[in-house]
Amino acid sequence: MKTFQNYILGNWVNGDGIETPLYHAVSQVELGSVSSAGIDYDQVFEYGRKTGGRSLRKMTFQERGRMLKALALYLMERKDRYYEVSAWTGATKVDSWIDIEGGIGNLFANASLRRQFPDLPYYVDGSAAPLSKNGTFIGHHIMVPKEGVAVHINAFNFPVWGMLEKIAVNLMAGVPAVVKPSEYTCYLTEVVVRDIIASAILPEGSLQLICGLGRGILDHVDARDIVTFTGSASTGKLLKGLPRISQESVPFNLEADSLNATILGKKAVPGTVEYDLFVKEVVKEMTIKAGQKCTAVRRILVPEEYIDEVQVAISSRLATTKIGNPAMEGVRMGPLASSLQAQRVRSSVEELSKSQPIVFGDMDHFEILGEQVKREAFFSPILFRNDDPFVKTACHDIEAFGPVATIMPYKEMDDAIDLAKLGKGSLVSSIVTPDNQEARDYVVGAASMHGRILVLNEHCAKESTGHGSPMPLLTHGGPGRAGGGEEMGGKRGVLHYLQRTAIQGHPTTITAITEQFQVGAEMPEANPHVFRKHFEELVVGETVFTHKHTVSEADIVNFANVSGDNFYAHMDATSLEGTIFERRVAHGYFILSKAAGLFVDPKKGPVLLNYGIEEARFTKPVYPGATIGVRFTVKEKIDQEKRSEDDIAKGIVKFLVDVYDETGETVAMATILTMVKKLKD
């Protein structure tokens, strides 16, 4: 019988003995066993910190992003094998797509974040803070990768997505991971990790895998590490409360299953597109992954005047859902991941039945399609109805982690908001309505107890990812019962794995540390002109001091004619009473345009193009007779990869444009982005 292995200290190893036998969810045939007994977690963590961590911390964000992209492409080429193994968990093709390609999509999404980070191993956060009168002492913040490991304890329902959505973020930050998937579906995670290790795309030690129970894994974390947990609220709180976590002040991100609610707006009357969307979305969320999603719909809130009709519509649609072997054509819902999960869902349904009736489904009598099918892990969709949800509150406290939901009425939107909040904190809620005011009222009223809210209507339905789909660039987590944590979230998620540190010193010193020019730093004159230098030759801080130009009324008139901007402050000196202007003022965009005329070296050279302006500010009026000059400074350099063999080797250079007048005072400031050719391919 096959033993599914752990990957630690650079090797694939078995644990001692057998901790857990593993079974095919459909046929209940034994697949093998797994164990992590005997693993020295102190060694595992130190190996990750010293071997993987040191390599990752030397890489820049650009390099880490390209690494994630390469890994995503590599795994996508091998996805067919993952689909084969995913079927062992009882997943349909759609279920597997969410898990496998959704997980790989997280790698792509986080790889793209490199464009929001500097070409450095660390991140420069925010803007400089002036700390002295004469500007010789400033403060700033940098964020460096934590020097520990990210310990990910994942749930059974998403063995691929659960791992990849987490490691994509910590690897982008420069932190290695130790992944502990659920032992019940770890065989799929193991297949993916074997390919990741074989690819050699990640530095050795960046990823280690614990396939067994992982007992004692948190006994060796310390202040350098970060723990993330996805699973039941009770287990998560138990782990978060371990003395080691508090003693070492270990960050612990808890993302727990929650009693998520979906609301049918009053304006989504029967017969509208939104009404039909609602029924379809509810049934989809009840049956996708057989309801085994932390984001699945558990509570269905409907205006009391529509509830009978909605109940019939949902029940009718559930009745057409074919349950059975996912390999069989037409099957829309497979089994739960294990017979143990089916037993747990049954127990929760029995408890809920004490206070509310089942209006659709029968746990003991339902058809299962396909051959070589054993009933142990299969479960019928169950729809409860609760006509008194403010009094009979079990549905707000007990979660059946399967294809189970409760429909309940509400009178007014405030009631719907209060009912949604009775879940005591949720990962997600949704409202389906054609009315934007109704949507606004719900979102503003309910947001404090939800991590994400989907507003669904006819206009976004075709492209909507749905109630149950967290997205890599948005926060995934929620308050209260949902755990109080946040995962993913784009740039926010990456920053979770970095240590923010305040730095203080002279602007020149802070420039050297951040590799971003700070106002007040030394500005050595560029020689030759910066537009004559290749990407590698440019030095942050070097500056072109331009010739000067005296602004005239003719400049203002000519620019107005060319641009069509005849705003009164520029063209009508008789209309300035009561304004801040003393007389006709030059256009701010003329000042920037003239600045470009002053700082540009027109001859063909390494500069390929100028493709943007950021942070443009007009800080002082410029009147005819004022004389302006420009300090044009290399602000920041960002490396850029070649997209093909034929692509030009280049990088992005940000230049600070500081336009000043005859008094030396800044009148306009902006950052321009240029694409600059490299010396070498």
Which residues are known to be catalytic? 255, 294
Alpha-carbon separation of residue 304 from 315, 350, 353, 413, 442 (angstroms):
17, 26, 21, 11, 17
Q: Are 589 and 505 in contact (CB under 8 A)?
A: no
Q: Are 676 and 650 in contact (CB under 8 A)?
A: yes
Q: Cβ contacts of residue 527 below 8 Å, gap of 6+?
A: none
Neighbours of 675 (CB within 10 A): 17
End-to-end CA distance of the chain: 52
Alpha-carbon separation of residue 528 from 274, 542, 607 (angstroms):
64, 11, 14
Residue type, 481: R
Q: Return the axis-axis angle of helices 273-287 and 307-319, rounded to nearest 10°.
A: 50
Q: 3-state DSSP call for residue 284?
A: helix
Planar angle of CA 333, 334, 339, nearest 5 degrees: 135
Neighbours of 208 (CB within 10 A): 26
The token pair at 321 is 């859902």
C-alpha torsion sign, points 36, 40, 45, 48: negative
Residue type, 122: Y
Q: 3-state DSSP call for residue 179?
A: strand
Give me the DSSP letters along 545-568: E---EE--HHHHHHHHHHH----H
- SS3 labels along 510-524: HHHHHCCCCCCCCCC
Distance CA 669, CA 657 (A): 6
C-alpha torsion sign, points 305, 307, 308, 313: positive
Q: Are 122 and 143 in contact (CB under 8 A)?
A: yes
Planar angle of CA 651, 657, 662, nearest 5 degrees: 160
Q: Cβ contacts of residue 46 below 8 Å, gap of 6+?
A: none
Q: Which long-range contacts (CB under 8 A, 24 or more apart) does 307-316 make?
A: 307/385, 307/407, 307/408, 307/409, 309/270, 310/264, 310/278, 310/279, 310/407, 311/359, 311/383, 311/385, 311/407, 313/279, 314/279, 314/282, 314/283, 314/360, 314/383, 314/407, 315/359, 315/360, 315/383
Give me the DSSP letters along 596-652: HHHH---S--SEEEEEEEEEEEE-S---TT-EEEEEEEEEEEEEE--SSTTSPPEEE
Residues 506-533, buried b or exposed e (16+ Cβ, 10 A)? Answer: bbeebbeebbbbbbbbebeebeeebbeb
Give me the DSSP letters along 485-497: EEEE-THHHHHTT
Distance CA 490, CA 112 (A): 9
The token pair at 190 is 């193991």
